[in-house]
């Protein structure tokens, strides 16, 4: 049996390469910092505190800021049923299930480990999608849990955050102590390097996040066995389908003179900055999987 669709070596390769680049950037950054001996004790304390907060409280913070409420099995039996079934297929401990009361169609997963995970959906997404599509979305979120994406991205973005704080505050701290004339140049250099580290790692993390997104799509397709379900869910959520016109071509033909300037397509640079790949790209990949499976 051809199980080609289960793996995407290209994607995994790109992901590894991005992580490698990120590691190179971070290691050079650490080497640079220690070379200049920038108040190491302060750095370590700062880093430790930050890591602990992020690691232990990020899930609670996410739930709190989104207003998601954990629901029990009796409150949302169907949703729980779906999650239970998907977890059985994906071999995952069942996460907590939460609902956000908003019409915005969305879903997310959070939690530092597979055992502490929470999967949340909005009431809007439950209204908008068919059960099969909702299942595909839940499978996508569960794949994030299975792949430990929260932990991976927290760790990956951690030093980037440190660099950001150095950029932001080092000029204050640096100027407080003693010999300004000699230290001044050094601090400027630390500051510049931090900026570079911050920007480069920012872009790399964005890339990594996009790859994880593709992986989660892929996982969802494998768990549900129906890539097309996630594809149509994505199209519904993003409103792409609403962009298809309903006016007759013969009716709008008279206005065609105004259509000469082509609409700008928003690829290229914006792609680099976004955490999620464009929906069209994700759908295209899912469609390709569907083809390979059938």
Partner 1 sequence: MGFRNFMDAVLGRSRLPKAKSDRLFAISTASITLEGSLGLKPSGSAGICFKPLGATSYESAQKEIEELLEFSSKETETEFRMEKDEFNFLWAIFKDPNFEDLVANIHLVSQTLEDRGFGEQILCAIYRFDSEPEARVAKEKARGKAAGGVAVYWIYNFKQGTYYPFIPLSGRQRDSPFEFRLRAEMEKEMPVEKNVEKWYPLWGIPF
As annotated, the active-site residues are 141
Binding of partner 1 by 185 (CB under 8 A)? no
For partner 1, which residue of 228, 230, 237, 277 counts as binding (CB under 8 A)?
A: 228
Region binding partner 1 by CB under 8 A among candidate stretches 2-10, 47-55, 73-81, 237-245: 237-245
For 24-48, give one letter per residue: b (16+ CB within 10 A) or e: ebbeebeeebeeeebeeeebeeeee
Told to check if 130 binds partner 1 by CB under 8 A, we report yes
Q: State the nearest-atom distance from the C-beta of 101 to partner 1, in Å.
A: 26
Q: How far is the CB of 248 from partner 1 (least distance, A)?
A: 5
Question: What phi and psi values does residue 71 have, to the nearest 5 degrees?
Answer: -115, 145
Is there binding between residue 270 and partner 1 (CB under 8 A)? Answer: no
Contact flag: residue 1 with partner 1 (CB under 8 A): no
Site stretch for partner 1 (CB under 8 A), options 54-62, 109-117, 162-170, 245-253: 245-253
> HEC profile for the chain?
CCCHHHCCHHHHHHHHHHHHHHHHHHHHHHHHHHHHCCCHHHHHHHHHHHHHHHHHHHHHHHHHHHCCEECCCCCCHHHHHHHHHHHHHHCCCCCEEEEECCCCCCEEEECCCHHHCEEEEEHHHHHHCCHHHHHHHHHHHHHHHHCCHHHHHHHHHHHHHHHHHHHHHHHHHHHHCCCHHHHHHHHHHHHHHHHHHHHHHHHHHHHHHHHHHHHHHHHHHHHHCCHHHHHHHHHHHHCHHHHCCCCCHHHHHHHHHHHCCCCCCCCCHHHHHCCCCCHHHHHHHHHHHHHHHC
- Residue from 41, 176, 244, 270 in contact with partner 1 (CB under 8 A): 244
Quick check: 47 binds partner 1 (CB under 8 A)?
A: no
User: Any contact of residue 265 with partner 1 (CB under 8 A)?
Assistant: yes
- Which residue in the set 1, 9, 249, 270 belongs to the binding site for partner 1 (CB under 8 A)? 249
Residue 202 to residue 196: CA distance in whole angstroms = 10
Binder among 261, 268, 269, 273 for partner 1 (CB under 8 A): 261
**Which residue in 31, 44, 252, 272 binds partner 1 (CB under 8 A)?**
252
Q: Nearest approach, Cβ of 250 to partner 1 (angstroms)?
A: 4
Interface size with partner 1, residues (CB under 8 A): 35
Minimum Å gap between C-beta 70 and partner 1 is 30
Is residue 89 part of the contact set for partner 1 (CB under 8 A)?
Answer: no
Which residue lies nearer to partner 1 by CB, 13 or 131?
131
Point out which residues bind partner 1 (CB under 8 A): 130, 132, 226, 228-229, 231-232, 235, 240-241, 243-253, 256-258, 260-263, 265, 283-284, 287-288, 290-291
């Amino acid at each position: 049996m051809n199980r080609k669709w289960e793996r995407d070596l290209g994607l995994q390769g790109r992901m590894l390469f991005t992580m490698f680049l990120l590691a190179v950037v971070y290691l050079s950054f650490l080497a640079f910092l220690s070379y200049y001996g920038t108040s190491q004790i302060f750095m370590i304390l700062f880093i430790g505190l930050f890591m602990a907060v992020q690691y232990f409280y990020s899930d609670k913070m996410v739930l709190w800021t989104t207003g998601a409420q954990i629901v029990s099995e009796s409150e949302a039996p169907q949703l729980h049923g779906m999650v239970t079934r998907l977890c059985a297929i994906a071999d995952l401990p069942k996460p907590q299930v939460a609902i956000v009361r908003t019409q915005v169609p969305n879903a997310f997963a959070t939690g530092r480990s597979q055992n502490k995970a929470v999967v949340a959906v909005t009431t809007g997404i439950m209204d908008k999608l068919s059960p099969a599509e909702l299942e595909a979305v839940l499978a996508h979120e569960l794949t994030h849990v299975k792949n430990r994406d929260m932990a991976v991205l927290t760790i990956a973005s951690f030093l980037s955050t440190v660099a950001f704080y150095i950029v932001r505050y080092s000029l204050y701290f640096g100027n407080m102590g003693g010999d300004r004339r000699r230290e001044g140049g050094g601090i400027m250099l630390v500051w510049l390097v931090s900026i570079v580290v911050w920007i480069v790692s920012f872009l790399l993390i964005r890339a990594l996040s996009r790859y994880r997104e593709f992986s989660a799509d892929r996982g969802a397709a494998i768990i549900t066995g129906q890539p097309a379900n996630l594809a149509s869910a994505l199209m519904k959520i993003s409103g792409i389908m609403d962009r298809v016109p309903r006016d007759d071509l013969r009716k709008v033909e008279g206005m065609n003179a105004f259509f000469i300037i082509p609409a700008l397509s928003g690829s290229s640079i914006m792609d680099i900055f976004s955490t999620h790949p464009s929906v069209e790209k994700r759908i295209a990949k899912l469609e390709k999987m569907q083809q390979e499976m059938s």
